[in-house]
Amino acid sequence: MSTTVKISFWWEFKNMFKILGAVGLGEELLITSEQFASPELPGLGWEIVLKVCSAVVYVYLRQIGKQNFNSLVTTKYKLFVVKFGSKILLTRSTKLFEDQTKLGFRAINVHQLMEFDVLRMQCKLEVDPPYDRNEIFKTSCRQLLGSQKFTDCVILVGVNLTIKK
């Protein structure tokens, strides 16, 4: 079975006041961090996204790569702003299903979170790599039978049984 991979990523965005002032009424601007990943998880990466609208700024984490139920990826995340050395939690994973392209989507008050026109963000991830559910099921059944702890019924291989009510 696979093990959990831990990733930590820092993103510092300067000149926020200039960006905020450039977005007019009814306009929006997407600002994305560089993609970050782990060599242990090929084909899977993340970006931090700021969606700047005229009056509101949203933040979320975007997963890039495996995004379907045939290649399940369990991602636990925490997204922080670091201001004057203190971490402020913006959003975190929940037990609910989320759109993997907008993990933790929420509005933030960017003016209160900036440190001298700079927005410093940190993302911490714990990722359980994709797994093959059929292979896990076969392995757990083999272990169950091998341990001889499955005593509720008898499994006969190669024998046909007729059961009448």
Q: What is the mean pLDDT of residues 67-82?
A: 72
Per-residue pLDDT at 127 exceeds 70: yes
Asked whether residue 144 is domain-assigned, the answer is: no
Higher pLDDT, 88 or 131: 88
The verdict on residue 13 lying in a domain is yes
Find the DSSP H helices in 12-132.
Answer: 16-22, 110-113
Contact 65, 42 (CB under 8 A): no
Q: What is the mean pLDDT of the chain?
A: 81
Is 156 a domain residue? no
51 backbone φψ class: left, alpha, beta (φ>0; ψ -120 to 50): beta
Q: Is residue 158 part of a domain?
A: no
Q: What are phi and psi of 135, to 5 degrees?
A: -65, -40
Residue 90, in any domain of the structure: yes
Task: Print the domain residue range for 112.
Answer: 5-133
Is 101 contained in some domain?
Answer: yes
Give the per-residue pLDDT at 42. Answer: 81
Residue 50 lies in a domain: yes
User: pLDDT by residue (tens digit) across 34-45?
Assistant: 999 998 888 889
User: pTM, whole model, 2 decimals?
Assistant: 0.71
User: How far, in Å, CA of 32 to CA of 49, rounded?
Assistant: 4
> Of 126, 77, 83, which is closest to residue 105 (Cα–Cα)?
77
Question: Per-residue confidence at 47, pLDDT binned at 50, 70, 90?
Answer: very high
**How many domains does the chain fold into?**
1
- The pair of three-digit structure tokens given for residue 24, joined into one six-digit string: 């007019």
- For 148, the token pair is 């001889």
Residue 36 to residues 7, 9, 25, 40, 121: CA-CA distances in angstroms?
A: 9, 7, 32, 12, 13
**Residue 160 placed within a domain:** no
- Cα 89 to Cα 139: distance, rounded to the nearest angstrom: 39
Percentage of residues of the chain with pLDDT beyond 70 = 79
For residue range 76-119, list pLDDT tens digits in order: 899 999 999 899 999 998 877 777 888 889 999 888 888 888 88
The CATH number of residue 59's host domain is: 2.60.210.10
